[in-house]
Structure 1
Amino acid sequence: MRSSIRRCWPLAAVALAGGLAAASAFAQAPAPHKVLRYSLERAETGFDPAQTPDAYSREIIDNIIEPPLRYDLLARPARLRVATAAALPQMSADFRELTLKIRPGIFFADDPAFHGRVRELTAADYAYSLRRHFDPRLHSVAYADLLADDILGLQALRERALSRDQPFDYDSPVEGLAVVDRYTLRIRFGHPSPRFPLKLAESIYAGAIAREVAETYGDAIMEHPVGTGPYRLVQWRRSSFIALERNPRFRDEFYDEQPDAGDADGQATAARLHGRREPMIDRVEVSIIEEPQPSWLAYVGGAFDLTLVPYEFAPDAAPGGRLAPNLAKRGMRLHLVSQPDVTYTYFNMDDPVVGGYTPERVALRRAIALGYDNAEEIRLLRKPLAIPAQGLVAPLVAGYDPSLRTNMSDYDPVRARALLDLYGYVDVNGDGYRERPNGGALVLHMATQPDTSSRQLNELWQKKMEAIGIRIVFERRPWPEQMKQARAGKLQMWTLGGSSDEPDPEDLLALAYGPSKGEGNWSRFDLPEYNADFRRVQELPDGPERQAAIAQAQKLLLAYMPMKTHLHRVRLVLTQPWLEGYPANPFVNGYWRFLDIDAARRPATQ
C-alpha cells in the first residue's frame, strides 16, 4: 500500500539561491532552488531495503538506493530498462543462469563510511546485497521469495549460521553468486527462474548496499540509507518529517522516457521534459500526516505539490469522477490511478482462537469473512474508489481476471451464523455473544491505528461482527509498532495491504508462502500444498500451466481463509499546476527524479 501522513506536518520555507554570478556585473540571479513538498498517510519504519516491510518507507528508499534495472515511467504495459546496468541481463535458455553487467563510473553518495574515498558501484555490491537477504539476523522481507528462486548456496550459508549460532558468513564463495569481474555478476539457480529479471528492478530485492555502510552502521542502518540514486537523506524526524536533497554524485542522466505511440498524454509529457537533466528538483520534503483533514487542507492551501486524495475528500475533489470546478479553475490536474494492490485482514494461524487448520477453525475464519461486507466498505469508506477483491491477485499483474467471482467477496450473515452454529460457536451464557466450542470466550482482537480512517473501519467491523454474535475489541498502536508486533507473530488480526512492485502476482502470492512467516507472510500460513503451488508459479514459464497454478493457489486461500481479502484500490492524485511530469505508473516508486517544477507558475508564497 502507498503511504499516508501523521501527527504533524512541518513545512520548511523554500530556500532561494542568492548572490550574483562571479565575474559579471550584469549576471542574472541563479535559478530558484526547487523543492517538492509531499505527504504520506502512514509513518515510515526505516530505510534498509532488506528490513523494510512497508511501502511508505520504500517510497523513500527507491529515490535513494538503486537496483540495476527499472521500469520505463511512461510505457504501458510495463517495460524494463536499465538503471545502473550496462544492458538488460542475459538469461540462459533453461532460465537457470543470469548474467548482469554493471555500468562503470557510477558512484555512491559521499558518506563517512567511505572515509573520504569516492566509492564506485561494482558487481560485488549487488552480490553482497543479495546475500544480506539470507542473513537470519536481518529478518528480510524478501527472504522467502528469493529462497524460492533457489540461488545456489545461499540457503546453505543461512542454515550454517543458524545451526552453529554464528554470524552469517558474507565471504564464503557460493555457486549461485559469482563476481566474474569488477562489473559482471553471474547468478545461478537450482531450478528455472524465468522472471528473476523483474526482481532486479526492485530495491526490496536488489537495491545496492555498500558493505562498508552496512558494517559501519550495523543495527542503525535503517537510519542511514546510502545509495547511488538521485537523492540522499539529509533530515529525518521519525513519524513526522523526512527531507532528501540532490545527490551530488549522481551520474549524468537525462529525461528520455518512451511512451507508447497511442498515448497522447505520455507523448506530450515526454516531449516537454525530453533532455532535462535528472533529478530536476533539488530537494524533497515529506511530511507524515495520518489524519486526512489536515492533509487535504494543506494541499488545497498550496502547501503540497501533489496529494493522494483522502477517501473522505474524494467527493470534494472529483464529484462524479470529474475534477471539481473550483480546483480546475486553479489549474490543478486530476489523475485516476489503478493500484496493483490488495487490502486484506489476516488471521494469525498460530493463534489459539482464530488460527489452525482443523475444520472448526477454518469454519470460524470463513464465517468471519462471510459476516464482513466488502461492498459496504467500498461504498461508505472508499467513496467508491475500489474494486472488490476475489483473491490476492491484483489488477495490472499477470493472472488477474476481472470477470472472476469467488466467495471471498460474498456478504452473507445468514450463512455465517449457520456455519458458527454448526461448529459449536454458540452463545452459552446468554450474554448475546458466542463462545468457543470448548466453552471458552470467543473474542477477536483486531490491531488498528489511532487515526480517523482506521476508526471508521473499526466501526464497520464492530457492527458486522456483532450482527453474527462475535465480540471484537481493537488494540490501537501506531503503524510502526503494529508492524513490529506482526513480525513477532503477536497480532491476532490486522487489516493492511500488499502492493505488487512488478507486473506479476508472485510477490502478492508470497504473502501466504510458508517459509516467509514473519517476513512478509504475517498470517503465518504454512500449507504444503500452497507452498508447492507457489514454487510452481515461480518456476514455470508464462503460459496456461502457470495460470492454472496461480488459480489453484487462489483456491487454497479461499478454502483455508488465512486472510479475508477486501479490495483493490483506485486512487485519486491531484497535482498543482506548477508540477510537471507526474506519472501514474504503479510500478515506479522512485519517480521524483522525473518531476519538475515550473517556478514561474508557482506562487511566490510557496
Structure 2
Amino acid sequence: MTGIGSAPVAAAFAGPAPQPVPADAGRKVLHLAFSSSESGLDPAKVVDLYSRTVTPHIFEALYKYDHLARPVKIKPNLAEAMPEVSPDFRVWTVKVRRGIFFADDPVFNGVKRELVAEDFVYAMKRFYDPANKSPAIGTLLGYGFVGMKALRDDATERKKPFDYDRPVEGLRALDRYTVRFVTEQPRPRLLELLATPDLWGAVAREVVEFYGNEIDAHPVGTGPFRLKQWRRASLIVLERNPHYRDERWDAEPAPDDAEGQAILARLKGRKLPLVDEVQISIILESQPRWLTFLNGRIDALATNSNPLPQEFVGVAMPNGKLAPNLAKRGILGRQNVNADVHLTMFNMEHALVGGYTPEKVALRRAISLGYDVRREIDAFWKGAAVPAQSALVPYTVGYDAAFKCESSDYDPARAKALLDMYGYVDRDGDGWREQPDGSPLLLEMMTQPEQRSRILDELWQKAMNALGLRIKFIVGQWPENLKAARNGKYMVWQFGLSAAAPDGETAVARYVTSEIGSQNYARFRLPAMDRIYERLQALPDGQERRALFDEVKRIGAAYMPLKHRVHRMECELRHPWLVGYKKPIFWQDWWHMVDIDDSKRPAR
C-alpha cells in the first residue's frame, strides 16, 4: 500500500542526499529514494508499500515472479518445483530446495542455518499470533487454512501465549523439506500467496525468539541482501548477503520484447545479486527528491515507492514524452498505467459519514459527485492519471477498461439535489448545510503536512465549499494517519493502494467484514458482499467469476464507502548506468536483478 502522505525527513536529509560511493571504490551501490518512510522490517507486522519494498530483498518465498515475463509468470524460488495440487484446489504440497541457508547472524553461533519446511509453517503462524497484531491477518483468515482460526481464537479467548508447537492440519511440515497447505474451501489461486515474499517469506524461529520485541530491527532471511544500517524514517542500507546461494540471472521475456531480450542477453548467467549495496534515502518533499535525481545521487525515479514527483511530470515528460534536455543527458524515461488506485475512504462506523440508511448513502454519494476528478488529474497529477471506475486496477483479473460507473462522475448539480432531498440544508442562513436533524455538519479529512498533500486539500476545500459543506483538515504524519485508519479513528482519508498479485480478489477485500482492521479501512459491512468474496475465492477463473466482479463494482458504487478516483500513469526516469531495470507490476523484489555501470556515471 502507498499513500499520498509520508513520514518525516530526518535532519540528515534536510539538505542534499548522501553522495554515492565513488566508482573507484570497487563496489556497486544502487541508490534509491522513498517518498514516505517505512513502518518496520518485520513481515508479520507491516502492510505499507515502503516496508514491503524492503523486506522481499531480505526474506524469500517459495515462489517468485519472473523479472521480465509479460504477461506475468510465477516460477519456483525456494521450492524445488511447482506445487502438487489436489483436484479440488484444497491441498497444496511443496518440496523445499535443499542446501539453502539463512544469512549469518549471532543467533546461529557461527553455524550455517539451513532452511527447512518448518520455517514456512512458523513464518505463517506468526501472522495468526494475536500478540503480533498483524494487519494482514484478515487476508490469511480469508484463505481458510484448516485449524488456524481455531488456534488463533484459542489464544485470544484464553488470553494465553499463542501455541506455535500445536500441530495444525492446514499448515504442516510433513518432513524436513516438505510443507503442505490445506484449506477449508477451494483456493485455486493460492500460488499467488506463496509468491509474496514481502509477507510470507521464510523466518527462522530462533531469531524471532532471541530478539523478541527488537525483531523489527533484526530481519534475518535467505534473500540476496541483509540489513547493514537503519536510521528510521531517514536511511536504510542493505548489503550483499555473503551466504546467498549460487543463484544465476535468468528471465523469460516475450519473443517480441526487444528491450527484455536485450537485458537477457546482457545479464543472463551472472551471479546474483549484481550490486553490492542498496542505499535508500527517505526524502519527503518532492523538490529535493527531484534535484537529487538530477544530480545523479539516486539512480531512478521509478516504482510506486520511488516515483517521479507529480509536480515535475510536465517538466520531465511533457505530453508523455521524455524532455529533450533529459534525453541529451542519456536519461531514459517512459510512461505506464499503474496497477494501483488512489481513493478517498469514508469511515462507515463514523456517526456523520458512516451508516447504510438512505440519507447517509446520499451524503457520501453527494460528496463524491461534488468532487472533480478531472481537475485533480490536471492540477495534481499533471495529466498523468486516468479516472478510476472501481476498486479493480489495471492488469488484474476483474478489471475492465470499458466499465463505467458513477464513481468518477462530476455533477455538482446532482450532488446538491441529493443533499437537499435528504435534508442536508442550510437552516440558519450562514451559507453552510446542517445535518437532517439540524445539528452542525463538519467534514474532517486526515491529511499530511507536505506540499503535495496541500494541493489535494485545496481541491477538496473548493469542491466542498461549492456544495455548502464545511471541511476541516486534520494534519498528521503518514504512519500516524495509517494507524488511525486501521483503528477506525478517523472520518475521511485518502491514499493509494497497489496490487500485489494478478488477481483482483484482493481489491474486493476492501469491502469484506473479516478484513476490517486490515484491508477494509472503510470498515464496510455487508453480508451480500461477504458472500460474493467467499465465492470469488473458491471459483476457478471464468465467466461466472467475472460476473461477480461486476457485481462488486455495482455494490461499491451504490453504497460509496470508497471513492476510487484515479489510476496513476507512472512516469519512470532512470539514469543510463542503471542496467536491467524493468518495471515490476505486482512484486517489489528487483534490486538484486539490476546492475550499475559506473563507467557511464559522470565524473565527480
Give the % identical residues: 48
**Partner of residue 244, structure 1:** 238
Q: CA RMSD in A?
A: 1.6
Aligned residue in 2 for 1:538 = 537
What letter is aligned with 1:332? Answer: I
Task: Name the SS of the counterpart of 1:197 in structure 2.
Answer: helix
Partner secondary structure for residue 38 of structure 1: strand
Work out the CA distance in 2 between the residues paired with 1:490 and 1:40: 27
CA 1:570–1:426 in structure 2 vs 1: closer, same or farther (change >3 Å)?
A: same
Pairing partner for 2:282 from 283, 288, 294: 288
Pair 1:437-2:436 in alignment = yes
Counterpart of 1:261, as a letter, is P
2:102, 2:439 → 1: CA distance? 58
Task: State the partner residue of 1:422.
Answer: 421
Query: Which ranges of structure 2 fall in alignment gaps of 5 or more residues?
Result: 302-306
Deviation at 1:204, TM superposition (A): 4.4
How far apart are 1:421 and its partner, in Å?
1.1
* 8 Å Cα contact 2:7/2:478 also seen in 1: no
Could you tell me which residue of structure 2 aligns to residue 276 of structure 1?
A: 270
Q: 2:77 aligns with which of 56, 65, 83?
A: 83
1:26 matched residue in structure 2: none
The question of whether the paired residues in 1 share the 8 Å contact of 2:90 and 2:187 is answered with yes
**Superimposed CA distance per residue, residues 199-241 of structure 1 (whole angstroms, 9 cap, x where no aligned partner):** 1111244211221222223333222221111111111111111
Name which of structure 1's ranges 187-196 and 505-514 shifts more when overlaid on structure 2. 505-514
Deviation sequence 1:425-481 (CA, Å, 0-9, x none): 111222211111122211111111111110000000111011111111111111111
Give the corresponding residue for 1:302.
296
Q: Structure 1 counterpart of 2:531, which letter?
A: A
Q: State the alpha-carbon separation in 2 of the partners of residues 250 and 448 from structure 1.
A: 42
Aligned AA for 1:594?
M
Does the aligned pair in 2 maintain the 1:425–1:434 contact within 8 Å?
A: yes
Against the structure 1 CA distance between its residues 172 and 142, is the aligned structure 2 distance closer, same or farther, given a 3 Å change threshold? same
Quickly say closer, same or farther: Cα 1:5–1:517, change in 2 above 3 A.
closer
Instruction: State the match for 1:109 in structure 2.
Output: 103
Report if aligned partners of 2:42, 2:216 keep a CA contact under 8 Å in 1. yes
Q: Residue deviations 1:383-434, cap 9 Å, x none?
A: 1111211100000001111011100111111111111111111112222111
1:167 aligns with 2:187: no
Q: Following the alignment from structure 1 to structure 2, what is the Cα–Cα distance between the partners of residues 14 and 301?
A: 11
Report how far residue 16 of structure 1 moved: 5.9
**Does 2:467 align with 1:465?**
no
Match of 1:47 among 41, 45, 65: 41
Give the SS at the match of 1:137. helix
Residue by residue over 1:472-497, the C-alpha shift from the partner in whole angstroms, topping out at 9 and shown as x without a partner, is 11111111111111122111111012
Confirm or deny that 1:221 pairs with 2:215.
Answer: yes
Match of 1:550 in 2: 549
Matched, 1:7 2:9: yes
Aligned amino acid, residue 7 of structure 1: V
Which residue number in structure 1 is paired with residue 189 of structure 2? Answer: 195
The whole-number CA distance in structure 2 between the counterparts of 1:515 and 1:218 is: 28
In 1, distance between residues paired with 2:211 and 2:513? Answer: 31
After TM superposition, the structure 1 stretch with the greater mean CA deviation from structure 2, 229-238 or 72-81, is 229-238
Which aligned pairs between 1:58-457 and structure 2 lie closer than 5 A?
58-307=52-301, 308-457=307-456
For structure 1, the residue ranges without an aligned partner over 5 or more in a row are 19-30
For residues 98 and 489 of structure 1, do their structure 2 counterparts lie closer, same or farther at Cα, with a shift above 3 Å needed?
Answer: same
C-alpha contact (below 8 Å) 1:377/1:460 kept by paired residues: yes
TM superposition score normalised by structure 1: 0.95
C-alpha distance in 1 between matches for 2:398 and 2:480:
34
Matching residue's letter, 1:585: P
CA offsets, 1:546-593, max 9 Å, x none? 111111122111111111111111111111111101111222301000
Post-superposition offset of 1:126: 0.7
Q: Which amino acid aligns with 2:496?
A: G
Pairwise CA distance, 1:13? 4.2
SS in 1 for 2:213: helix
Amino acid paired to 1:187: F
Query: Is the CA contact (8 Å cut-off) linking 1:6 and 1:41 kept in structure 2?
Result: no
TM value normalised by structure 2: 0.95
Distance 1:213 1:361 in 2: 50
Look up the match of 1:25. none
Q: Is the 8 A contact 1:5 1:39 kept in 2?
A: no
Contact 1:5 1:291 in 2 (8 A): no
Aligned-partner residue type, residue 230 of structure 2 = W
Q: Distance in 1 between matches of 2:246 and 2:141?
A: 36
Which whole-Å deviations, capped at 9, do the CAs of 1:338-383 have from their partners, x for residues lacking one?
2111111111111111111111111111111111111111111111
Distance 1:137 1:528 in 2: 29
* Residues matched between the structures, number: 593
Conservation of the 8 A alpha-carbon contact between 1:306 and 1:576 = yes
Taking the aligned partners of 1:338 and 1:226, their CA distance within structure 2 comes to 35
For residues 400 and 525 of structure 2, the distance between their equivalents in structure 1, rounded to whole angstroms, comes to 26
Separation of aligned partners in 2, 1:214 and 1:494: 34
- What do the CA deviations read for 1:248-270 (whole angstroms, capped 9, x no partner)? 11111111111011111110111
Q: Structure 2: how far apart are the matches of 1:462 and 1:218?
A: 46
Report the alpha carbon displacement of residue 112 of structure 1 after superposing the two structures with TM: 2.7
Runs of 4+ in 1 over 3 A off after TM superposition: 1-6, 8-18
Q: Does structure 1 retain, via aligned residues, the 8 Å contact 2:60–2:198?
A: no
Residues in 2 aligned to 1:221 and 1:422: alpha-carbon distance in whole angstroms: 55
Match of 1:571 in 2: 570
Separation (CA, whole Å) in 2 of partners of 1:204 and 1:137: 20
Deviations 1:511-560 (A, max 9, x none): 22111111221111121111111111111000011111111122111111
User: What secondary structure does 2:128 align onto?
Assistant: coil
- How far apart in 2 are the matches of 1:360 and 1:199? 40
Taking structure 1 as reference, are residues 17 and 304 closer, same or farther at Cα in structure 2, changes over 3 Å only?
A: closer
Name the CA distance, whole Å, in 2 between partners of 1:366 and 1:384: 25
